[in-house]
Structure 1
Amino acid sequence: MKTRTNLAAVAVIALLALSACASSTSTSGLEEFESSLEGGASCEELFELRNELDPSSHTVVEANEALQEIGCYSSSSTRTDL
């Protein structure tokens, strides 16, 4: 019984560690996207960064909204805010 409890605890810790890693990866991806956006990156460059984000994350929604706000509806668009 004690072994089963220990295994469950190890599994929970592993899941927490993995979710923390995934969370920080998508956050850093969004930070890179936002930095490039502010730095004047082209739509093509911004779409490449957006495509690297976790598609199931809310960060993709945020990136898509930011792209639309500056006229980037596709990777071949030209920014309208510069």
Structure 2
Amino acid sequence: MALMITDECINCDVCEPECPNDAISPGEEIYVIDPGRCTECVGHFDEPQCQQVCPVDCIPLDPEREESKEQLMEKYRIITAA
């Protein structure tokens, strides 16, 4: 699954630089995650780095974007090949 940022986000700016896929960016009100670029850090780290640094725990799995580890790895391969 891709991750998502909930409206509990406090715009603390710590998640964006941690994303190895550049999937996190400032939105209109809170940070947002591009599901096309989010691999939950598969291919880079064992754990999603944004979740590790988030002080308010507002980055859950997106229930509308179910993806297997294999799908996330394939997305990682496509992103890193570009």
Structure 2 length-normalised TM: 0.32
Higher strand share: 2
Higher helix share: 1
Structure possessing the higher radius of gyration over alpha carbons: 1
